[in-house]
Amino acid sequence: MAHGLKNKIFIIGIRRNEMTKQFIVLFTAIVLGLGWAMRGLFGHEWGASWAGAMGAMAVLIISNRKDWIRRAPVLAALGALGWGVGGMMSYGIVIGYCKSTLFVNSLYGYTMLAVIGSLYGFIGGGLFGLGLESSEKKKPKWATLLTEMFVGGALVWGLIIYQMEWYMTPPRSELWAGCLGAAIALAWFLHRNDFKRALRVAGYSALGGGFGFAFGNFIQVLGTAAGIQYNWWNVMEFILGFCGGLGMAYAVLTREWPESVKPSKIGNWIAVMFVFILIPIANYFNGLYMDHFVSIAEKLNISDVEQYASMQFLYSGASILIFAFLTIIMWHRYYSNDDKLVKYILPAMLFITTIHYNFFAYIKFGTFYRSFTFGHSESLYIFIVILIYIIWYFGIRKELDFPGKNTPPETWKRWGVILVSLLLLFVLFAFISINSHSGLPGAHNRF
């Protein structure tokens, strides 16, 4: 009797531990989702790079790998660079295709959004995964890789756009083709150099990003068609980041990884400066400018526009100095203390980055100069930041144990089934979309 009770308690304990681990995986998804939602306010490469750095740090926190966390700044910088590359792609008109009342246009829109989202995830997950898989026995030739990606991007872009004239988003920028060429070069580099784990991370990040972008816009179309007043564009962006982060975390945590290459002190410090100083400064200049503050001031009926803008510039500049100073002090003091790095310092660096990006978003919204309502996106941001902290405090901070395990090997058949299933889902999205409305603002027809 007692023996049977002990077995039941043991089984319940195992199931509870597995559920806790599955819940912890959501940590990365929520972090990258929040970063991508705020990225929409700043846009382009630098906004995406801030979100990418957040997602990379979140994966490192839940991995419990001290050898990785010793290289946390470098790995976060790789996540930032990888996810940031796709920021050059234009997709506004593609979203308009999904709003069309014609099935072929709507299906084209969802499928192309999946392509764009996949490129975000493939390059972001691939470069981050390559950093994780770098070891003393097998170090990647970074100069070769970057050269191949640049040349591959230029060649594919020139071939598809200028020679074959296969336009996705006319008359907007067609740099998606450049990103496609860079992704093909990255895939070939990972394959021929036997970086199988990194290639798998790239694949699942692409799967998450592609599905997330299409599904997020499907939610936006339904929400808009239903007449519900909310920032559905931001919801779409959050879902893209959430699904991309989920794919990236899943791929990392379901494989055994070799011992990482030894950390470079100089490399880490350069990465600290890049992630915590250069990226915020770049977003400062790209996202906060006088014309925007004039527009916000008019909406909020602020008479002294110059004073309003000056205060916003002051708050932003001061935040960069304060948050960068805190990060530099923490890394300088504790970078050689593995236990504190794992349990406290890296989470603190992630929270600093998250709160800083959130603060920039609030300044861009003009939140501090108007009444708070739940109809604005900042209400979603506050909820997500609190949720991230709760997951870390009650789950990751105490658990910090998610050893890699090998899932069934990847096969072409498995990926073929996944891709066909996704295409059928997009057909369903398009069918529901065209029957949910009689026309939406911003709709476009490609054919």
Domain boundaries, the chain: 26-140+195-434
Grade residue 107 by pLDDT with cuts at 50, 70 and 90. Answer: very high
pLDDT mean over 157-168 = 95
State pTM to two decimals: 0.91
Which pLDDT score, from 0 to 100, does residue 14 have? 39
Own/partner pairs for 292-296, CB < 8 Å, 24+ apart?
A: 292/364, 296/365, 296/366, 296/369
DSSP state of 303: S
pLDDT at 286: 83
- CA-CA-CA-CA torsion for 84, 86, 87, 89, nearest 10 degrees? 170
pLDDT band for position 142 (50/70/90)? very high
Q: Does the pLDDT at position 120 exceed 80?
A: yes
Q: By the 8 A CB rule, do 156 and 178 touch?
A: yes
pLDDT at 266 over 90: yes
pLDDT, the chain, mean:
88
Instruction: Report the alpha-carbon distance of residue 221 to residue 367 in Å, rounded.
Output: 26
* Structural tokens at position 58: 């979140």
Beta carbons of 32 and 51 less than 8 angstroms apart:
yes
Contact, 437 vs 98, CB < 8 A? no
**What pLDDT does residue 382 have?**
79
383: confidence class by pLDDT, cuts 50, 70, 90: confident
> Each residue of 20-65: pLDDT tens digit?
566 678 899 999 999 999 887 787 899 999 999 999 999 999 988 8
Rg, Å, the chain Cα set: 22
Q: Which of 126, 72, 130 is nearest to 274 (CA)?
A: 72
On the 0-12 / 13-18 / 19+ scale of CB atoms within 10 A, 390 is exposed
- 256-265: pLDDT as tens digits: 899 999 999 9
Question: For residue 422, what pLDDT is reported?
Answer: 95
Q: Which residues contact 291 (CB under 8 A, 6 or more apart)?
A: none
Task: Give the integer Cα–Cα distance in Å for 50 and 241.
Answer: 12
Higher pLDDT pick, 315 / 116: 116
Q: 8-12, 333-337, 370-374: which has the minimum mean pLDDT?
A: 8-12
Determine the average pLDDT of the residues in 253-282.
Answer: 94
The conformational region for residue 194 under phi > 0 = left, psi -120 to 50 = alpha, else beta, is: left
pLDDT band for position 318 (cuts 50, 70, 90): very high
| Residue 310 CB coordination number (10 Å) | 13
What pLDDT score was predicted for residue 16? 43
